[in-house]
């Protein structure tokens, strides 16, 4: 059960997240694909979800959602490391730290994606 105020802890395959429900979504002109929606049946969500198709990704399998989040977080850390290296002067220690995390998330993504492919979810 989702609550409209606050957040609820959720565990996806050993990874802890905080889940929140939003009622005041402000639309922007630029597509933004880092809003993840998890539901039991995507077909039941089509009425409202089509309006937000440029902003959300809908998942009905926990492993698929977790894999996508791992990949996106890895991409974020990689982008941040590049940004830090391009600063003047470059912030090499911080960039290295982000690259370490990017590698960790990409490794975890690969493991999850392999399991998904093996199980056919």
Structure tokens at 4: 């409209």
When the pLDDT of each residue in the chain is averaged and rounded to a whole number, the result is: 84
Does residue 23 carry a pLDDT above 80? no
Torsion angle in degrees (nearest 10) through CA of 109, 115, 116, 119: 180
**How far from each other are the two terminal CA atoms of the chain, in whole angstroms?**
24
Q: How far apart are CA 118 and CA 121, in angstroms?
A: 8
**Residue boundaries of the structural domains of the chain:** 8-21+28-119
Residue 67: its pLDDT value, please?
Answer: 94
Structure tokens at 115: 């399991």
Does residue 79 carry a pLDDT above 50? yes
Residue 3: its pLDDT value, please?
Answer: 43
Query: pTM (2 decimals)?
Result: 0.72
Does residue 4 carry a pLDDT above 60? no
Q: Inter-axis angle of helices 62-85 and 92-119, to 10 degrees?
A: 160
Q: Please check whether residue 116 is in contact with residue 106, taking contact to mean a CB–CB distance below 8 angstroms.
A: no
Q: Mean pLDDT throughout 15-38?
A: 70
């Amino acid at each position: 059960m989702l609550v409209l105020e606050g957040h609820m802890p959720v565990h996806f395959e050993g990874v802890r997240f905080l889940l929140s429900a939003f009622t005041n979504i402000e639309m922007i002109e630029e597509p933004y694909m880092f809003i993840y929606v998890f539901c039991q049946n995507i077909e039941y969500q089509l009425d409202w979800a089509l309006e937000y198709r440029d902003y959300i990704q809908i998942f009905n399998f926990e492993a698929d959602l977790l894999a996508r989040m791992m990949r996106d977080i890895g991409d974020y850390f990689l982008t941040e490391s590049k940004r830090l290296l391009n600063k003047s002067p470059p912030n090499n220690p911080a960039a290295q730290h982000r690259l370490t995390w990017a590698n960790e998330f990409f490794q975890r993504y690969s493991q999850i994606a392999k399991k998904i492919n093996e199980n056919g979810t």
